[in-house]
Chains A and B, each alone.
Chain A
Amino acid sequence: MPGKLKVKIVAGRHLPVMDRASDLTDAFVEVKFGNTTFKTDVYLKSLNPQWNSEWFKFEVDDEDLQDEPLQITVLDHDTYSANDAIGKVYIDIDPLLYSEAATVISGWFPIYDTIHGIRGEINVVVKVDLFNDLNRFRQSSCGVKFFCTTSIPKCYRAVVIHGFVEELVVNEDPEYQWIDRIRTPRASNEARQRLISLMSGELQRKIGLKVLEMRGNAVVGYLQCFDLEGESGLVVRAIGTACTLDKLSSPATFLPACNSPSKEMKESPLVHPPSHGCRSTHNSPIHTATGSRLTQSFSVSVPTLIYTGMGSGSAGKEGGPFKALLRQQTQSALEQRGGSPHRFCRRREFPFLTLTAFPPGLLVHVGGVVSARSVKLLDRIHNPAFVGIMGNTRSYKLLDWNSFNSDEPETRDAWWAEIRQEIKSHAKALGCHAVVGYSESTSICEEVCILSASGTAAVLSPRFLQEGTVDGSLEQRVEENLPVGCGFCHIPYDELNMPFPAHLTHCYNCRKQKVPDVLFTTIDLPTDAVVIGKGCLIQARLCRLKKKAQAEANATAISNLLPFMEYEVHTQLMNKLKLKGMNALFGLRIQITVGENMLMGLASATGVYLAALPMPGGIQIAGKTPSDGSYEQHISHMQKKINDTIAKNKELYEINPPEVSEEIIGSPIPEPRQRSRLLRSQSESSDEVTELDLSHGKKDAFVLEIDDTDAMEDVHSLLTDVPPPSGFYSCNTEIMPGINNWTSEIQMFTSVRVVRLSSLNLTNQALNKNFNGLCENLLKSLYFKLRSMTPCCLCHVNFTVSLPEDELIQVTVTAVAITFDKNQALQTTKAHAEKSLQRASTDNEELLQFPLELCSDSVPSHAFPAAKEHPESASSNSGTPAAQRAVTVEKASPMGDGNFRNRSAPPCAGSTVGVVKMTPLSFIPGAKITKYLGIINMFFIRETTSLREEGGVSGFLHTFIAEVFAMVRAHVAALGGNAVVSYIMKQCVFMENPSKNQAQCLINVSGDAVVFVRESDLEVMSTQQPAVNCQPTCTGEVTT
């Protein structure tokens, strides 16, 4: 009996009137944990009952503590008939189970009913006493910390990064049980909510166990998802990165907060190869994956190649265009690399990291995006065995709950293992031993399910593989000395044995290593990356009609369409990137959604101009019928429009890279010593540079052939994307490249749109146009709504597409708008410029532009002198000493007017509700996160049978989302926090039946509850008691 859970019910307020006669309520509360239930007294005739109960004590196993939610039900006492339920509160007590997080949960929780929504609030106090040393208990994993944040959390230091953890749990969906026919919708919804809460608890505990086995103490980048597979069940799965984290001591002496992840790392972590066989990915059979791969390089002649990939037997029906080539390459690439990367792969089954930002020095090279998809049938009618049809490896599995229940997770595991295997081999083909920024997703329509996984193939620092030992390989020595800021762009694969056709050039930054002409990644922009100008959100949108079909036929149709979609999405991305005059994509996320009669593809990424990569060539249009004069004219008109757009975009995003010519030698490496070395390398390879420059003439410009109306449409659609209005920037990464002077105002929002497609005989073109219009309009609406915040940037813009019904398209967007200070930007950059002028006085004027554009990139300029001065730190690869970095970061820190404006705002008189900020980012601008209180992972169902009365579908969903926000905020506040970071709405499933006046919606959200302190308050507080930091009330700041 390792734990005692104590609960006290204090009071209620704003309860609904349950007794029409008296306009009052006789409320009491049931407190349930596991199978034990306590009740409070009935508080007669009040809408604001004061129960002030005794402490209800539950003596439970810590395993249960992890799995079970605390369930609080508020009821109205009725002497004659059954008591009426007012609503429930589920409290996840997990945050109380680790020592550093919350110690008590205490506060007002909204009382939630799945039919009526929020009905008043209840004040609850929850405490946990743990008796035993937790580490001895293997069934529970109390003490393992979970973070949704996909970087090392701010007040921690990564000691070891152990690697990938995953788990999934399967159960029958209560909505589809026979009993659902006779119980009320409320009972059914509550059963579902409770089950999912239980399953997530169990899943988290199991993942925790794996982490403990790997000798870790935390999971970072924890992503948990639900697959509502309908009749075949409910899958809860999660992936994450196991780490050993160390809490940085004394928060008061922290480095000033920075605006970008992972800068605070004092020491670089070590990737630790688990010496004990970790039990990860439990030995499910691995089937050859069916997938298609994307890398950053595509040429127009590719489509035919897709077919060759497809034919490769079990290798997959939608195998990537270069599949055959890849297979051959994999071997040779691996042989050549040799050494530690191998060790890395051998040691673990899947060398994946869910992180998108890394401690300095960890990320060495980035290969490109690797992705895999596979189409599966969720089928319980067919034979209970794996059946391969048509040479594919699509799996069929009977999901009979009575006889095969225990078998079920294995199947799902196998599916994912397959996909991961595929990803791994893709990464290998790119000469990479690891995959970073890894994520998995599904799209389900009836019995067809598309499983997708994607990540960025990468080479992680080999020295990180073994603790404390320095690998003496010469190759690594060379890599070590590479200048920070461009190293990650250098190709990890062998130039002579490229896995796919790509244009390589010498790095425009260091002039030493080879870089590709474009780079696609799923990660955030590394903090030390040298970027020119600002970034922007780039989206590729695509629809493909599909015949309605059943089962295998449907799955086949989908798998046939997938490669075309991937290809087109990719082409669109590439074209749009070039149109923006940029050469790299970060945070790429491609979502393929399956519906009854169509497939939708939506890719979002943040385009940037990496200084290390060559200037992108333009886009050239070539007509097929040159004889026609007017046609020719039209083509040239279009060409002009495209050229104009490129020029305009370059101006808009301030992309003015230094002219590449031999006169300008040495890219802006401000450190003289460094530069001299570079100069040497420059002269050594100067003739090569000439050669490469030539290769970047007009001839390799991206050529679009306009041979039919389709192509014409495509080109037109390229040009219809309107740039955001002035004062707005947008990106889907954590931070906007090129903006570093955030002020403290943030506004997180969710916007949902559902449109009904008008006609039944839609063409692909019309569909594309509609979808494009939908997304563009949505963005325009956002810009309009948030116009009062300008200048501001929409960060972490996350689009999700679903096809709830035949003619319905649902797009959900979650993002955060952050204000920044234009004037301060000028000052900061000026300071930068002056500094670099002093340091590199020989630099000519054109080069000065370079440091001007650096966001927080003064890091590289400091890094080297520091490393030289302190040889011991150089050998341990600690990157930049903290103190130095602190100085530079502070300059860029957002101490703008916002702070002062907010502080002068009138104090909230009489309001008892503290402000809780929510953001999808891992940081809060202008503030310092002092404590992580635990993960927030909530699942809600809302149903109505009076849709019209609740304001129609919009009114219904608007209220529901507002309620979800409220419940998240209330839980955070009760934990003692004042913000949620890395917030994400993972699911928003909306179903309506207007004719029956009904609607239902399921929402799943997660994030990290934190305590933050304003930077401006931090100084004051450091002189006072540091304990004050934990008080959420200390930040009475005002969001506007």
Chain B
Amino acid sequence: MTSELDIFVGNTTLIDEDVYRLWLDGYSVNDAVALRVRSGILEQTGATAGVLQSDTMDHYRTFHMLERLLHAPPKLLHQLIFQIPPSRQALLIERYYTFDEAFVREVLGKKLSKGTKKDLDDISTKTGITLKSCRRQFDNFKRVFKVVEEMRGSLVDNIQQHFLLSDRLARDYAAIVFFANNRFETGKKKLQYLSFGDFAFCAELMIQNWTLGAVGEAPTDPDSQMDDMDVDLDKEFLQDLKELKVLVADKDLLDLHKSLVCTALRGKLSVFSEMETNFKNLSRGLVNVAAKLTHNKDVRDLFVDLVEKFVEPCRSDHWPLSDVRLFLNQYSVSVHSLDGFRHQTLWDRYMGTLRGCLLRLYHD
């Protein structure tokens, strides 16, 4: 006696969270059944393996049918075929768009193209995440990217509106989209110690301060092309950053800057002497990073540069984080006292964000 057909359809669609997770994780029905058996569900419920198999198949079928709708979450809300309570709808969407840390670190900043998709095999092997799950996550990134790429307005809002994600997840996706668009390098060996959270934090700061959207805080013409483009960095701003070069190119200015910082921090830093000796190198590093941002290539290497030019030197001298914070604060503020320097607002826009990023990036 073999089962030809075996279905269960509820007026309210039954969603089993555990099975949904297994499905999202890309397990086959048989693997999922095996995993469920291992979880001890048979003992708890007194069910047989056959029942479990049938139940799993059923849920998988439902999820498969729902997947089409999950690709455009507002559809899930308006469709009539599956009656799902709103809280469950939210759960389905949120979980579907949730990604693995290990996976996102692999593709963050990469072009979301066919080429990258081909690499998913390797990523799967490397991370231990099933290929199916990798594909889903990659397709999610790509789908969100495609939808919001050309859209005006706040990136996070756009994502939330079109994919009905929670605030937290929408912010993460904004970071992913931002990174993918600007192709920031995150895969280098020296960046491996950074988590997705670190990058997402930086992305948020950069979106807030360095993009087109950041300038037009009170847009006069909401339809104008200038209005709130969150995805691209503000080109004009990047051009202007060249002006900061004077801080290191002008010897007097650099010395004055150094003395201002040293005076203020004397006795407050445990690594004062190291700071004093390294000041010029550090300052050059930070200002040069700014000056180079006109080139796309250098934009991509932003994080590599920051780590190389600032994080690594400080770390090798064993700066504690509190000292880094004190230093960066003083380093930024002191510029205001440099009479010959005229680009105070530019400096603040640059350094305000950079300081936040550096503090986040400064850890082991």
Q: Are A750 and B85 in contact (CB under 8 A)?
A: no
Minimum C-beta distance from B50 to chain A (A): 6
A916 and B85 CA atoms in complex are apart in Å by 11
Q: Are A953 and B5 in contact (CB under 8 A)?
A: yes
Minimum C-beta distance from A93 to chain B (A): 21
Determine if A44 is an interface residue (Cβ-Cβ < 8 Å). Answer: no
Identify the closest chain A residue to B10 (Cβ). A749
Minimum C-beta distance from A964 to chain B (A): 9
Chain B residues with Cβ below 8 Å from A638 are none
Which residues of A (722-777) have their CB < 8 Å from a CB of B?
Answer: 725, 747-758, 770, 773-774, 777
Identify the closest chain B residue to A117 (Cβ). B81
A sample of 16 inter-chain contacts (CB < 8 A) reads: A13-B78, A118-B81, A747-B14, A750-B9, A757-B1, A781-B51, A785-B55, A786-B14, A910-B164, A911-B89, A957-B5, A958-B58, A961-B9, A962-B65, A965-B81, A966-B80
Determine if B165 is an interface residue (Cβ-Cβ < 8 Å). Answer: no
Chain B residues with Cβ below 8 Å from A905 are 85-87
Select the residue from B46, B50, B81 with max chain A CB neighbours within 10 A.
B81
CB 8 Å contact bits of B1-25 with A (1 = contact, 0 = none)? 1111111111111100000000000
Identify the closest chain A residue to B85 (Cβ). A1038
Q: Are A747 and B12 in contact (CB under 8 A)?
A: yes
Other-chain contact of B65, A108, A777, A808, A958 (Cβ < 8 Å) = A958
Q: Are B11 and A784 in contact (CB under 8 A)?
A: no
Q: Are B83 and A1039 in contact (CB under 8 A)?
A: yes
Identify the closest chain A residue to B65 (Cβ). A959
Q: Are A756 and B11 in contact (CB under 8 A)?
A: no
Q: Are B8 and A749 in contact (CB under 8 A)?
A: yes
Q: Are A954 and B57 in contact (CB under 8 A)?
A: yes
The count of residues in chain B whose C-beta lies closer than 8 Å to any C-beta of chain A is: 44
Identify the closest chain A residue to B64 (Cβ). A951
CB 8 Å contact bits of B44-67 with A (1 = contact, 0 = none)? 011110111011011001101100
Which residues of A (984-1040) have their CB < 8 Å from a CB of B?
Answer: 990, 992, 1038-1040
Q: Are A962 and B81 in contact (CB under 8 A)?
A: yes
Q: Are A777 and B1 in contact (CB under 8 A)?
A: no
Other-chain contact of A755, B4, B80, B83, B86 (Cβ < 8 Å) = B4
Other-chain contact of B4, A121, A808, A913 (Cβ < 8 Å) = A808
Other-chain contact of A915, B48, B57, B83 (Cβ < 8 Å) = B83
Q: Which 10 A-B pairs have the closest CB atoms?
A: A908-B86, A754-B5, A749-B10, A748-B11, A961-B9, A754-B4, A918-B11, A966-B80, A958-B7, A953-B5
Chain B residues with Cβ below 8 Å from A747 are 10-12, 14
Which residues of A (85-121) have their CB < 8 Å from a CB of B?
Answer: 108, 110, 118, 121
Determine if A231 is an interface residue (Cβ-Cβ < 8 Å). Answer: no
Chain A residues with Cβ below 8 Å from B78 are 13-14, 911-913
Minimum C-beta distance from A584 to chain B (A): 29
Identify the closest chain B residue to A956 (Cβ). B5
Minimum C-beta distance from A724 to chain B (A): 10
Determine if B126 is an interface residue (Cβ-Cβ < 8 Å). Answer: no
Minimum C-beta distance from B97 to chain A (A): 17
Chain B residues with Cβ below 8 Å from A108 are 80
Determine if B88 is an interface residue (Cβ-Cβ < 8 Å). Answer: yes
CB 8 Å contact bits of B81-108 with A (1 = contact, 0 = none)? 1110111110000000000000000000
Q: Are B82 and A953 in contact (CB under 8 A)?
A: no
Determine if A906 is an interface residue (Cβ-Cβ < 8 Å). Answer: yes
Minimum C-beta distance from B159 to chain A (A): 15
Determine if B79 is an interface residue (Cβ-Cβ < 8 Å). Answer: yes
Determine if A928 is an interface residue (Cβ-Cβ < 8 Å). Answer: no
Q: Are A969 and B80 in contact (CB under 8 A)?
A: yes
Minimum C-beta distance from A1000 to chain B (A): 13
Q: Are A906 and B87 in contact (CB under 8 A)?
A: yes
Which residues of A (929-977) have their CB < 8 Å from a CB of B?
Answer: 951, 953-955, 957-959, 961-963, 965-966, 969-970
Identify the closest chain B residue to A725 (Cβ). B46
Q: Are A951 and B61 in contact (CB under 8 A)?
A: yes
Determine if B349 is an interface residue (Cβ-Cβ < 8 Å). Answer: no
Determine if A179 is an interface residue (Cβ-Cβ < 8 Å). Answer: no
A963 and B9 CA atoms in complex are apart in Å by 10
Determine if B342 is an interface residue (Cβ-Cβ < 8 Å). Answer: no
Other-chain contact of B86, A751, A784, A917, A1038 (Cβ < 8 Å) = A1038
Interface residues of A (CB under 8 A from B): 13-14, 108, 110, 118, 121, 725, 747-758, 770, 773-774, 777, 780-787, 808, 810, 905-913, 915-918, 951, 953-955, 957-959, 961-963, 965-966, 969-970, 990, 992, 1038-1040
Q: How many residue pairs, one in A and one in B, have C-beta atoms under 8 Å apart?
A: 160
Interface residues of B (CB under 8 A from A): 1-14, 45-48, 50-52, 54-55, 57-58, 61-62, 64-65, 74-75, 77-83, 85-89, 164
Select the residue from B1, B62, B65 with max chain A CB neighbours within 10 A.
B1
A905 and B88 CA atoms in complex are apart in Å by 11
Q: Are B83 and A784 in contact (CB under 8 A)?
A: no
Chain A residues with Cβ below 8 Å from B79 are 14, 913
Other-chain contact of A953, B4, B9, B57, B85 (Cβ < 8 Å) = B4
Chain A residues with Cβ below 8 Å from B83 are 913, 915-916, 965-966, 969, 1039
Identify the closest chain A residue to B50 (Cβ). A777
A906 and B9 CA atoms in complex are apart in Å by 25
Extra inter-chain contacts (15) besides given A725-B46, A962-B65, A965-B83, CB under 8 Å: A753-B3, A755-B2, A781-B8, A784-B55, A912-B78, A913-B77, A913-B80, A951-B61, A957-B5, A958-B61, A969-B80, A1038-B86, A1039-B11, A1039-B12, A1039-B85
Chain A residues with Cβ below 8 Å from B2 are 755-756, 758
A906 and B82 CA atoms in complex are apart in Å by 19
Q: Are B1 and A1038 in contact (CB under 8 A)?
A: no
Chain A residues with Cβ below 8 Å from B61 are 951, 954-955, 958
Other-chain contact of A965, B4, B9, B14, B46 (Cβ < 8 Å) = B9
Chain A residues with Cβ below 8 Å from B75 are 14
Chain A residues with Cβ below 8 Å from B13 are 962
Q: Are B80 and A773 in contact (CB under 8 A)?
A: no
Chain A residues with Cβ below 8 Å from B54 are 777, 781
Q: Are B81 and A781 in contact (CB under 8 A)?
A: no
Minimum C-beta distance from B6 to chain A (A): 5
Other-chain contact of B51, A780, A908, A910, A965 (Cβ < 8 Å) = A780
Q: Are B11 and A965 in contact (CB under 8 A)?
A: yes
Chain A residues with Cβ below 8 Å from B14 are 747, 785-786
Chain B residues with Cβ below 8 Å from A953 are 4-5
Chain B residues with Cβ below 8 Å from A782 are 8
Q: Are A756 and B6 in contact (CB under 8 A)?
A: no
Query: Given A758-B2, A969-B80, A780 and B48 touching (CB < 8 A)?
Result: yes
Q: Are B80 and A1040 in contact (CB under 8 A)?
A: no
Q: Are B77 and A911 in contact (CB under 8 A)?
A: yes
Other-chain contact of B85, A777, A909, A1040 (Cβ < 8 Å) = A1040
Q: Are B3 and A773 in contact (CB under 8 A)?
A: no
